[in-house]
Amino acid sequence: MIRWLVDLLMFFFPVNCLVCGKSLGSPYEVLCLGCEFRMPRTGFRDDPENPVSMLFWGRIPVVCGTSLFRFEKGSPYQILLHELKYRGNRKSGIYLGRLLGHELKQTSYSTCEMIIPVPLHKKRYRERGYNQSELIGRGLSEVLGIPMATNVLVRSTQHDSQTSMGRLARFENVSGNFSISPHSPDISGMKVLLIDDVVTTGATLEACCSELLDNFCCQVYIATVSCA
Protein backbone atom coordinates (compact mmCIF):
# COMPACT_ATOMS: atom_id res chain seq x y z
CA MET A 1 0.00 0.00 0.00
CA ILE A 2 2.76 2.44 0.95
CA ARG A 3 4.78 1.52 -2.17
CA TRP A 4 1.71 2.18 -4.31
CA LEU A 5 1.23 5.60 -2.77
CA VAL A 6 4.89 6.46 -3.32
CA ASP A 7 4.69 5.38 -6.96
CA LEU A 8 1.56 7.49 -7.44
CA LEU A 9 3.25 10.48 -5.86
CA MET A 10 6.31 10.04 -8.07
CA PHE A 11 4.06 9.87 -11.15
CA PHE A 12 2.47 13.25 -10.48
CA PHE A 13 5.49 14.85 -8.79
CA PRO A 14 8.64 13.30 -10.29
CA VAL A 15 11.93 13.83 -8.48
CA ASN A 16 15.12 14.46 -10.43
CA CYS A 17 18.80 14.45 -9.50
CA LEU A 18 19.81 17.99 -8.61
CA VAL A 19 23.08 17.68 -10.51
CA CYS A 20 22.33 15.83 -13.75
CA GLY A 21 18.53 15.93 -13.85
CA LYS A 22 18.15 12.15 -14.10
CA SER A 23 14.86 10.77 -12.79
CA LEU A 24 15.12 9.33 -9.28
CA GLY A 25 13.30 6.34 -7.88
CA SER A 26 12.31 7.79 -4.52
CA PRO A 27 10.99 11.13 -3.24
CA TYR A 28 13.64 10.95 -0.51
CA GLU A 29 16.60 10.89 -2.89
CA VAL A 30 18.59 13.99 -3.90
CA LEU A 31 21.36 12.72 -6.19
CA CYS A 32 21.56 9.72 -8.49
CA LEU A 33 24.20 7.13 -7.63
CA GLY A 34 26.48 8.34 -10.42
CA CYS A 35 26.50 11.96 -9.28
CA GLU A 36 26.92 10.91 -5.66
CA PHE A 37 29.94 8.81 -6.69
CA ARG A 38 31.44 11.71 -8.68
CA MET A 39 31.03 14.27 -5.89
CA PRO A 40 34.39 16.10 -5.40
CA ARG A 41 35.01 14.76 -1.91
CA THR A 42 37.94 16.13 0.04
CA GLY A 43 39.16 12.92 1.68
CA PHE A 44 40.24 15.05 4.64
CA ARG A 45 38.71 12.86 7.34
CA ASP A 46 41.84 10.81 8.08
CA ASP A 47 44.35 13.64 7.61
CA PRO A 48 44.94 15.72 10.77
CA GLU A 49 46.95 18.24 8.73
CA ASN A 50 44.33 18.88 6.08
CA PRO A 51 43.50 22.43 4.87
CA VAL A 52 40.37 22.74 7.04
CA SER A 53 42.23 21.85 10.22
CA MET A 54 45.06 24.16 9.23
CA LEU A 55 42.65 27.12 8.96
CA PHE A 56 42.46 27.15 12.76
CA TRP A 57 46.11 26.58 13.59
CA GLY A 58 47.36 29.40 15.81
CA ARG A 59 43.83 30.78 16.09
CA ILE A 60 41.78 28.39 18.20
CA PRO A 61 42.67 24.98 19.71
CA VAL A 62 40.31 22.65 17.87
CA VAL A 63 41.14 18.95 17.77
CA CYS A 64 40.68 18.71 14.00
CA GLY A 65 38.41 19.79 11.18
CA THR A 66 37.09 18.36 7.93
CA SER A 67 34.68 18.93 5.04
CA LEU A 68 32.74 16.51 2.87
CA PHE A 69 33.36 18.08 -0.54
CA ARG A 70 35.09 21.02 -2.22
CA PHE A 71 33.00 24.04 -3.18
CA GLU A 72 34.51 24.71 -6.60
CA LYS A 73 33.45 27.69 -8.70
CA GLY A 74 31.30 26.55 -11.58
CA SER A 75 30.86 23.05 -10.16
CA PRO A 76 27.39 21.52 -10.68
CA TYR A 77 27.48 20.48 -7.02
CA GLN A 78 27.06 24.12 -5.95
CA ILE A 79 23.35 23.60 -6.46
CA LEU A 80 23.18 21.39 -3.36
CA LEU A 81 24.00 24.30 -1.06
CA HIS A 82 22.06 26.81 -3.16
CA GLU A 83 18.93 24.66 -2.87
CA LEU A 84 19.46 24.29 0.86
CA LYS A 85 20.11 27.95 1.70
CA TYR A 86 17.98 29.84 -0.80
CA ARG A 87 15.26 27.58 -2.18
CA GLY A 88 13.92 25.95 0.95
CA ASN A 89 15.09 22.45 0.02
CA ARG A 90 15.29 20.98 3.52
CA LYS A 91 15.67 17.46 2.14
CA SER A 92 19.02 18.49 0.69
CA GLY A 93 20.34 19.41 4.15
CA ILE A 94 19.39 16.11 5.76
CA TYR A 95 20.80 14.21 2.77
CA LEU A 96 24.13 16.05 2.99
CA GLY A 97 24.24 15.40 6.72
CA ARG A 98 23.83 11.68 6.12
CA LEU A 99 26.60 11.68 3.53
CA LEU A 100 28.85 13.52 5.97
CA GLY A 101 27.94 11.00 8.67
CA HIS A 102 28.91 8.04 6.49
CA GLU A 103 32.17 9.82 5.69
CA LEU A 104 32.97 10.23 9.40
CA LYS A 105 32.13 6.70 10.50
CA GLN A 106 35.12 4.80 11.86
CA THR A 107 37.01 8.07 12.47
CA SER A 108 37.76 10.06 15.63
CA TYR A 109 34.78 12.30 14.81
CA SER A 110 32.44 9.40 15.57
CA THR A 111 33.65 9.40 19.19
CA CYS A 112 32.11 12.83 19.80
CA GLU A 113 29.30 12.93 22.33
CA MET A 114 27.28 15.86 21.07
CA ILE A 115 26.61 17.64 17.76
CA ILE A 116 26.30 21.43 17.96
CA PRO A 117 25.10 23.31 14.85
CA VAL A 118 26.16 26.90 14.19
CA PRO A 119 23.03 28.90 15.09
CA LEU A 120 21.12 31.38 12.95
CA HIS A 121 19.94 34.74 14.25
CA LYS A 122 16.24 34.54 15.14
CA LYS A 123 15.32 37.07 12.43
CA ARG A 124 17.09 35.05 9.74
CA TYR A 125 15.50 31.89 11.13
CA ARG A 126 12.03 33.42 10.75
CA GLU A 127 12.80 34.50 7.18
CA ARG A 128 14.15 31.10 6.11
CA GLY A 129 11.99 28.92 8.33
CA TYR A 130 14.84 26.65 9.37
CA ASN A 131 18.54 26.54 10.19
CA GLN A 132 20.43 24.71 7.45
CA SER A 133 23.10 23.60 9.92
CA GLU A 134 20.45 21.95 12.08
CA LEU A 135 19.16 20.00 9.07
CA ILE A 136 22.70 18.81 8.33
CA GLY A 137 22.99 17.90 12.01
CA ARG A 138 19.82 15.81 11.84
CA GLY A 139 21.21 13.68 9.03
CA LEU A 140 24.58 13.43 10.74
CA SER A 141 22.94 12.40 14.02
CA GLU A 142 20.92 9.68 12.29
CA VAL A 143 24.03 8.04 10.87
CA LEU A 144 26.45 8.47 13.78
CA GLY A 145 23.94 8.04 16.61
CA ILE A 146 25.24 11.20 18.32
CA PRO A 147 22.61 13.49 19.87
CA MET A 148 22.32 17.06 18.61
CA ALA A 149 21.87 20.03 20.93
CA THR A 150 20.43 23.25 19.51
CA ASN A 151 20.35 25.05 22.87
CA VAL A 152 24.09 25.50 23.45
CA LEU A 153 24.98 28.45 21.24
CA VAL A 154 22.84 31.46 20.34
CA ARG A 155 23.45 34.15 17.76
CA SER A 156 22.80 37.55 19.27
CA THR A 157 23.55 39.69 16.21
CA GLN A 158 22.69 39.25 12.53
CA HIS A 159 25.92 40.04 10.69
CA ASP A 160 26.30 41.62 7.28
CA SER A 161 26.92 39.51 4.19
CA GLN A 162 30.49 38.20 4.23
CA THR A 163 30.77 37.22 0.58
CA SER A 164 33.23 39.95 -0.40
CA MET A 165 35.09 40.17 2.91
CA GLY A 166 38.62 39.01 3.68
CA ARG A 167 39.60 36.91 6.70
CA LEU A 168 40.12 39.80 9.13
CA ALA A 169 36.94 41.59 8.07
CA ARG A 170 34.95 38.38 8.40
CA PHE A 171 36.27 37.76 11.90
CA GLU A 172 35.46 41.31 12.98
CA ASN A 173 32.02 40.92 11.45
CA VAL A 174 31.15 37.86 13.58
CA SER A 175 33.22 38.55 16.70
CA GLY A 176 30.89 38.85 19.65
CA ASN A 177 27.88 37.61 17.68
CA PHE A 178 27.66 34.33 19.57
CA SER A 179 27.05 33.49 23.20
CA ILE A 180 26.16 30.51 25.37
CA SER A 181 22.45 29.98 25.86
CA PRO A 182 21.19 30.22 29.46
CA HIS A 183 19.48 26.88 28.76
CA SER A 184 22.67 25.14 27.63
CA PRO A 185 23.58 21.81 29.21
CA ASP A 186 26.97 21.54 30.84
CA ILE A 187 29.26 20.11 28.17
CA SER A 188 32.45 20.24 30.24
CA GLY A 189 34.57 17.14 29.74
CA MET A 190 32.81 16.27 26.48
CA LYS A 191 33.95 15.90 22.90
CA VAL A 192 31.65 18.07 20.78
CA LEU A 193 31.26 18.25 17.00
CA LEU A 194 30.58 21.78 15.75
CA ILE A 195 28.98 21.77 12.30
CA ASP A 196 28.14 24.26 9.58
CA ASP A 197 27.31 24.17 5.89
CA VAL A 198 30.41 25.86 4.43
CA VAL A 199 33.80 26.94 5.74
CA THR A 200 35.72 29.64 3.89
CA THR A 201 38.01 31.62 6.19
CA GLY A 202 36.77 29.88 9.34
CA ALA A 203 35.75 33.16 11.03
CA THR A 204 32.25 32.04 12.03
CA LEU A 205 33.41 28.68 13.33
CA GLU A 206 36.28 30.32 15.18
CA ALA A 207 33.88 32.69 16.94
CA CYS A 208 31.67 29.75 17.96
CA CYS A 209 34.65 27.72 19.18
CA SER A 210 35.87 30.64 21.27
CA GLU A 211 32.56 30.77 23.11
CA LEU A 212 32.52 27.03 23.72
CA LEU A 213 36.12 26.88 24.95
CA ASP A 214 35.81 30.03 27.07
CA ASN A 215 32.81 28.62 28.92
CA PHE A 216 33.41 24.87 29.02
CA CYS A 217 36.39 22.59 29.42
CA CYS A 218 35.62 20.57 26.31
CA GLN A 219 37.23 19.31 23.12
CA VAL A 220 35.92 20.73 19.84
CA TYR A 221 35.92 18.99 16.48
CA ILE A 222 34.70 20.79 13.35
CA ALA A 223 32.92 19.36 10.31
CA THR A 224 31.25 21.10 7.39
CA VAL A 225 29.53 19.88 4.26
CA SER A 226 31.75 22.00 2.01
CA CYS A 227 34.94 24.02 2.02
CA ALA A 228 35.67 26.91 -0.31
Flag whether pLDDT at 57 surpasses 70. yes
How confident is the model at residue 5, as a pLDDT?
A: 46
How confident is the model at residue 6, as a pLDDT?
A: 44
Angle at 21 between CA 18 and CA 24, to 5 degrees: 85
| CATH 3.40.50 domain range(s) in the chain | 39-227
Instruction: Choose among 194, 108, 95: nearest CA to 150.
Output: 194
How confident is the model at residue 26, as a pLDDT?
A: 83
At the topology level, CATH places domain 39-227 in: Rossmann fold (3.40.50)
Candidate from 67-71, 77-81, 89-93, 175-179 with smallest mean pLDDT: 175-179
- At 184-193, the pLDDT tens digits run 999 999 999 9
How confident is the model at residue 160, as a pLDDT?
A: 55
pLDDT, averaged across the chain: 89
Candidate from 31-40, 132-141, 152-161, 213-222 with smallest mean pLDDT: 152-161
- At 114-170, the pLDDT tens digits run 999 999 999 999 999 999 999 999 999 999 999 999 999 999 876 555 455 555 555
* Rounded percentage of the chain residues whose pLDDT exceeds 70: 86
User: What's the one-letter identity of residue 174?
Assistant: V
pTM attached to this predicted model = 0.88
* Rounded average pLDDT over 99-113: 97
How confident is the model at residue 127, as a pLDDT?
A: 92
- At 82-105, the pLDDT tens digits run 999 999 999 999 999 999 999 999
Name which residue leads in pLDDT, 72 or 158. 72
Which class for 26: exposed (0-12), middle (13-18), buried (19 or more C-beta within 10 A)? exposed
